[in-house]
Amino acid sequence: MFLMNCWYVAAWSHELSSATVSRKLLNEPILLYRTTQGTPIAFLDRCPHRLVPLSAGTRVGDTIRCGYHGMVFAPDGRCQHIPGQDQIPDTARVVTYPVHEQYGLIWIWMGQNDLANRELIPAIPWASLDGWTASPGYTHIAADYRLLTDNLLDLSHETYIHGSTIGNSPEETIAAYPVKVSVDDGRVVSARRDMPNIAPPPMFAMLNQSSARIDRWQTAIWIAPSLNITDGGVRPARDESGETSSARVLHLLTPESDRSTHYFWAFCRNFRQQDDKLTEAITQAHRRTFDEDKHMLELQQLSLEQTGLAVPKVALRVDEAPLRARRILNQLIKHEAASPNYVLPKISRIFQTEPALHGEKANVKA
């Protein structure tokens, strides 16, 4: 159920200080640490001798010493020292994974090691880009990562789940605005919605310090298998020359297990960049917002497990983008299973167009 030959986010860069990080990724226990030079390293968190977690051991210089019998492993996974013997057998080696640090994130390749290519990390620099200020965070979700992809590709749920932060009221539900769905490179799904002259949701009113109506637009973007960006903006309603505030929100998902997900997120904005209080307020608001998603997705996961029904009985118009992404993901996983050396090519572009306002309200009986 996982695509293997691709890069996943293992951690935020700032998590890897002098401490090690132990984390399950795609059902494998992984130990992350940095060498004294700062290079990130990923081990299978199992000593090859007695299979205890190496995270119960000690970092000694650039090496990890197992906490049970004292075997010492170098960054390349080879055993450097075995207490009580000179000979070090070839099998005394811990499994390692390619890792690379980019955009303030530690990326890991869990598929075939020799296929790892840093050029394939999608260009999503906003959390570390000049001209943008990030409010980053992490949320653990006890649900299949694909349920969170469904959630992120159809933002009509904002009205019903996030009424106190980023959602409009049911009377002005954003589901009523038509969505334009497109697919690029066979693996990037975009769902754009324009909402001219709409009331600002509570968090937007807070950000703009005004409850005046706005022109709002947003594009939900999914990059197979599990990176997402919400690219959005607002402007005073019907004022094309008004000041535009833009945000690119990263939602980077890494499956922890078949039924749980690491959700790394960052709200990146290009306005009031030096306002640290605002940065913190956005972080708090998004933590609360994503906890609302967490609550619903974990209920959904339990329902699916109890009911044993993976396929819903009803598809709605708002499901178009999630369903297209699911189909693509299923095909990619199937393809990889048949051709284990297959690697997704580099994507050519993430954004189709620069933000612009064109669209109209759908003719919907409320």
The residue ranges that bind its own copies (CB under 8 A) are: 29, 46, 48-53, 56-57, 65-71, 81-86, 89, 91-92, 150, 154, 156-157, 159-161, 170, 173, 175-176, 295-296, 299-300, 303-304, 306-307, 309, 312-314, 316-318, 362-366
CB 57 within 8 A of CB 65: yes
Instruction: Give a three-class secondary structure readout of 19-68.
Output: CCEEEEECCEEEEEEECCCCCEEEEECCCCCCCCCHHHCEEECCEEECCC
Least Å distance, CB 68 to its own copies, is 6
Least Å distance, CB 53 to its own copies, is 5
Closer of 48 and 75 to its own copies (Cβ)? 48
Least Å distance, CB 274 to its own copies, is 38
Closer of 115 and 304 to its own copies (Cβ)? 304
Least Å distance, CB 67 to its own copies, is 6
CB 259 within 8 A of CB 303: no
Least Å distance, CB 196 to its own copies, is 17
Please name the helix (run of DSSP H) or strand (run of DSSP E) that holds residue 101, with its range, or none.
Answer: strand 99-102
Backbone Cα Rg of the chain: 23
CA–CA distance from 274 to each of 133, 270, 323 (Å)? 8, 10, 39
Closer of 53 and 104 to its own copies (Cβ)? 53
Q: Tell me which residue has tokens 């959390």.
A: 127
Other beta carbons within 10 angstroms of residue 322's beta carbon come to 24
Sorted by sequence, the CB contacts under 8 Å of residue 202 that are 6+ apart come out as 163, 164, 165, 166
Closer of 133 and 139 to its own copies (Cβ)? 139
CA–CA distance from 177 to each of 170, 180, 293 (Å)? 13, 10, 22
Least Å distance, CB 199 to its own copies, is 16
- 3-state DSSP call for residue 262? strand
Least Å distance, CB 112 to its own copies, is 20
Least Å distance, CB 178 to its own copies, is 8
Least Å distance, CB 127 to its own copies, is 28
Closer of 157 and 269 to its own copies (Cβ)? 157
Closer of 212 and 364 to its own copies (Cβ)? 364
Closer of 71 and 329 to its own copies (Cβ)? 71
Closer of 150 and 336 to its own copies (Cβ)? 150
Q: Report d(CA 82, CA 69) in Å as an integer.
A: 8
**Amino acid of residue 185:** D
Q: Report d(CA 160, CA 296) in Å as an integer.
A: 11
Closer of 7 and 97 to its own copies (Cβ)? 97
**Sign, Cα dihedral of 175, 269, 265, 188:** positive
